[in-house]
């Protein structure tokens, strides 16, 4: 059977939900991990709190990624001493994150840009910024429904009209827009919406 290390809840991704599932498995016992080897983030032959810490460090502190097999899929090993069975890993093909610009519309002297992603924008403390080309916009907000999958950015008309040519739109964390989008350490802090033509509404 093929599996992906770190994907505890078997949804094709390694994200905050996997760290939560790992904690529930270790300390509450009411999560029946379908593929226990996926919990062994550090590939040390056992599941412990350091695996969860390493997962969080990878996602939010640019820590080392999970041990192989990752990011590719690999065969489950046979363990003699540990119950690392993999009863189910049926994510095939793996789920892909999708991101889209939902709307661009005027609001008085400002323009609102709403973006959506199937991967939640977490955590808010890391200050998500909207990047249109190389320009960063930090005035973000959440929608009234409290969804973690949507963000609302408000630009002035002047700012908006200055970037109306086709541009790559991304959401990143920090205080600047990274130009090298191939950096592996950026992956979990990067949402790429593609090249979008910005037209004055």
CATH number at residue 188: 2.40.30
Tell me, yes or no, whether 64 lies in a domain. yes
Burial 84-108 (b: 16+ CB within 10 A, else e): bebeebebeeeeeeebeeeebeeee
Note whether residue 92 is domain-resident: no
62 and 129, same domain (yes or no): no
**13, 94 contact by CB (below 8 A):** yes
Query: 3-class DSSP state for residue 2?
Result: strand
Do 192 and 104 reside in the same domain of the chain? Answer: yes
Whether residue 189 is found in the same domain as residue 110: yes
Residue 125 domain-assigned (yes or no)? yes
Q: With DSSP H G I counted as helix, E B as strand and the rest as coil, what are the percentages for the chain, rounded to 5? A: 20, 25, 50
Same domain? 54 vs 127: no
Domain count, the chain: 2
| Residue 22 domain flag | yes
pLDDT tens digits for the chain (201 residues)? Answer: 678 888 888 877 788 888 888 998 888 876 677 788 888 898 888 889 999 999 998 887 778 888 888 877 777 766 544 456 677 666 655 556 678 888 888 888 888 888 888 777 765 446 788 888 888 887 666 665 566 778 888 888 888 888 767 778 888 877 778 776 665 455 556 788 888 776 655
Tell me, what CATH number does 52's domain have? 1.10.1330.10
Q: How far is CA 59 from CA 65, 96, 123, 160, 187, in A?
A: 8, 17, 11, 32, 8
Are 124 and 176 in a shared domain? yes
pLDDT at 80: 44
Q: What was the pLDDT predicted at 81?
A: 43
Predicted pLDDT at 94: 54
Q: Are 103 and 186 found together in one domain?
A: yes
Domain-located, residue 94: no
Give the range of the structural domain holding residue 17, as residue numbers without chain letter: 2-75
Kindly report the backbone phi and psi dihedral angles of residue 182, in degrees, each rounded to the nearest multiple of 5, phi listed first.
Answer: -95, 0
Domain end among 40, 75, 110: 75
């Amino acid at each position: 059977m093929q599996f992906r290390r770190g994907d505890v809840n078997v949804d094709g991704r390694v994200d905050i939900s996997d760290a939560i599932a790992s904690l529930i498995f270790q300390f509450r016992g009411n999560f029946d991990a379908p593929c226990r080897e996926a919990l062994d983030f550090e590939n040390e032959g056992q599941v412990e709190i350091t695996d969860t810490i390493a997962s969080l460090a990878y996602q939010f502190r640019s820590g080392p990624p999970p041990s192989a097999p990752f990011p590719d899929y690999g065969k489950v090993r046979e363990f003699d001493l540990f119950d690392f069975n993999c009863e189910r890993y049926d994510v095939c093909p793996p789920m892909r994150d999708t991101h889209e610009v939902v709307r661009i519309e005027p609001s008085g002297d400002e323009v609102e840009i709403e973006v959506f992603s199937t991967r939640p924008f977490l955590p808010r403390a890391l200050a998500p910024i909207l990047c249109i080309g190389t320009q960063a916009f930090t005035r973000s907000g959440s929608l009234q429904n409290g969804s973690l999958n949507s963000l609302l950015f408000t630009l002035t008309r002047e700012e908006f009209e200055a970037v109306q040519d086709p541009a790559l739109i991304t959401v990143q964390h920090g205080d600047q827009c990274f130009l090298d989008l191939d950096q592996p350490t950026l992956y979990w802090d990067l949402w790429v919406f593609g090249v979008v033509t910005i037209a004055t509404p």
